[in-house]
């Protein structure tokens, strides 16, 4: 995935309008791009070509379903640890060795290690957290999601 | 709702993206030996059940200049956190917003909001906007910037029933 900004001229005004509109839910109808194209004053074919181009230059990573992982079944939990600096690499190796560790970030804070556990069963979360504590000798704080708020996030292109 | 084996095939087939053609659902139907109507009906069912949030473009934040982000955390009065969490989540620069348990005494924060911006200054500015929105209901806050990605595994999807 591209990690650096595209030059501003990579997207023209129509690309930007299309990208903003394509972040809204695609209608589930046989010709989903046609209605959207009308709104943008484009033909269906032109909109699809723009979308393919946006994907090609890396302005979007994909065009498809956004899944709610938890709704699929399975359990997820954000966890954090306070790892002493000299032990950091060793502890990261122990934590990352678990395939259930999906993401792991170093963050600038007293709690400097933040990772997500993804398990089949909610019971596995606390068991695995306890296992990581046993392996590292360090407490694992669990921050399960109690409520998810509706997200209005849109990248303005 | 528990997705059945056909739903799972459909999710697996679309995981890397929809075909960019005028009738994408008909094309997917062709791959899976289903009718277009059935593909659309199943996608609607999955969306109504909340398993699919939406079908849309996933913008690349970095490519579009949103290169800075920070995990902001807030200690919000219990009686106000749900109402205010809705408002924070609805802000266009917040990509994730959750209520989570506190871990007292060291961690008083119960609202987590991921803030995105074009620079760290902009992220700080947006953090100030959230602080203003929360007002007196907020007793303290902090922001955690990531300094290194230590592991990032894509979500794996079981294909079995």
Q: What is the ipTM of this complex?
A: 0.82
Nearest to A77 by CA among B103, B56, B134: B103
CATH number at residue A99: 3.30.70.3460
Has residue B28 got a pLDDT over 60? yes
**Which among A56, A78, A95 is the end of a domain?**
A56
Contact A155 B155 (CB under 8 A): no
Of A35-39, A51-55, B140-144, B151-155, the poorest mean pLDDT is in B151-155
Has residue B155 got a pLDDT over 60? no
Contact B98 A149 (CB under 8 A): yes
- Give me the residue from B17, B36, B95 closest to A63, CB to CB: B17
Q: Over the stretch B33-72, which tens digit does the pLDDT of each residue have?
A: 999 999 999 999 999 998 999 999 998 888 988 889 999 9
A:B CB pairs within 8 Å: 235
Coil, strand or helix at A123 = helix
CA distance A48 to chain B (A): 6
Instruction: Using pLDDT thresholds of 50, 70 and 90, give the confidence band for residue B159.
Output: very low
Instruction: Using pLDDT thresholds of 50, 70 and 90, give the confidence band for residue A58.
Output: very high
Mean pLDDT of chain A: 93
Cα separation, A74 vs B107, in Å, equals 26
A93 and A133 assigned to the same domain: yes
| Residue-number span of the structural domain to which A16 is assigned | 8-56
Q: Any idea what DSSP says for residue A72?
A: G
In a domain, A118, yes or no: yes
Q: Which residue has the tokens 């484009």?
A: A42
In a domain, A1, yes or no: no
> What CATH number matches the domain at B68-144, 3.40.50.300, 3.30.2010.10, 3.10.20.30, 3.30.70.920?
3.30.70.920
pLDDT at B154: 52
Percent of chain A with pLDDT over 90: 77
Has residue A78 got a pLDDT over 60? yes
Has residue B88 got a pLDDT over 50? yes
B103: chain A residues, CB-CB within 8 Å: 141, 143
A82 and A138 assigned to the same domain: yes
DSSP H or E run through B37: helix B36-48
Stretch A113-132: mean pLDDT:
93
What count of other Cβ atoms lies within 10 Å of the Cβ of residue B10? 25
A51 and A77 assigned to the same domain: no
Has residue B160 got a pLDDT over 70? no
Coil, strand or helix at B131 = helix
Integer CA distances (angstroms), B8 to A126, B4, B15, B59, in order: 28, 6, 10, 25
- Give me the residue from A107, A149, A154 closest to B85, CB to CB: A149
CA distance B22 to chain A (A): 6
Stretch B126-143: mean pLDDT:
98
Q: What are phi and psi of A72, to 5 degrees?
A: -75, -5
pLDDT at A67: 87
Has residue B153 got a pLDDT over 80? no
Contact A23 B86 (CB under 8 A): no
Count of structural domains within chain A = 2
Instruction: Using pLDDT thresholds of 50, 70 and 90, give the confidence band for residue B156.
Output: very low
A74 and A139 assigned to the same domain: yes
- Give me the residue from A101, A106, A151 closest to B148, CB to CB: A106
């Amino acid at each position: 995935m591209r990690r650096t900004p595209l030059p501003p001229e990579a997207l023209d005004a129509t690309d930007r309008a299309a990208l903003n509109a394509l972040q809204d839910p695609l209608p589930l109808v046989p010709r989903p791009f046609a209605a959207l194209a009308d709104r943008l004053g484009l033909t269906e074919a032109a909109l699809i070509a723009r979308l393919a181009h946006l994907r090609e230059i890396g302005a979007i990573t994909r065009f498809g379903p956004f899944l709610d992982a938890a709704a699929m079944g399975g359990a997820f939990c954000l966890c954090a640890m306070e790892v002493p600096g000299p032990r950091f690499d060793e502890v990261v190796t122990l934590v990352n060795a678990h395939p259930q560790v999906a993401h792991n970030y170093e963050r600038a804070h007293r709690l400097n290690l933040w990772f997500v556990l993804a398990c089949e069963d909610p019971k596995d979360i606390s068991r695995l957290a306890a296992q990581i504590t046993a392996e590292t000798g360090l407490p694992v704080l669990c921050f399960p999601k109690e409520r998810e708020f509706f997200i209005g996030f849109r990248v303005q292109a | 709702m528990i997705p059945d084996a056909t739903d799972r095939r459909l999710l697996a087939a679309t995981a890397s993206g929809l075909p960019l053609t005028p009738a994408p659902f008909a094309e997917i139907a062709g791959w899976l030996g289903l009718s277009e109507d059935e593909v659309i009906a199943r996608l609607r069912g999955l969306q109504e059940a909340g398993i699919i949030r939406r079908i849309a473009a996933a913008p690349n934040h970095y490519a579009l200049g949103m290169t800075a982000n920070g995990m902001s955390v807030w200690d919000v009065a219990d009686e106000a956190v749900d109402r205010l969490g809705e408002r924070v989540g609805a802000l266009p620069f917040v990509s994730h917003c959750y209520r989570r348990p506190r871990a007292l005494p060291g961690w008083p924060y119960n609202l987590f909001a991921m803030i995105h911006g074009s620079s760290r200054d902009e992220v700080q500015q947006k953090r100030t906007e959230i602080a203003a929105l929360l007002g007196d209901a907020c007793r303290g806050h902090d922001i955690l910037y990531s300094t290194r990605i230590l592991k990032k595994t894509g979500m794996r999807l079981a294909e079995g029933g």
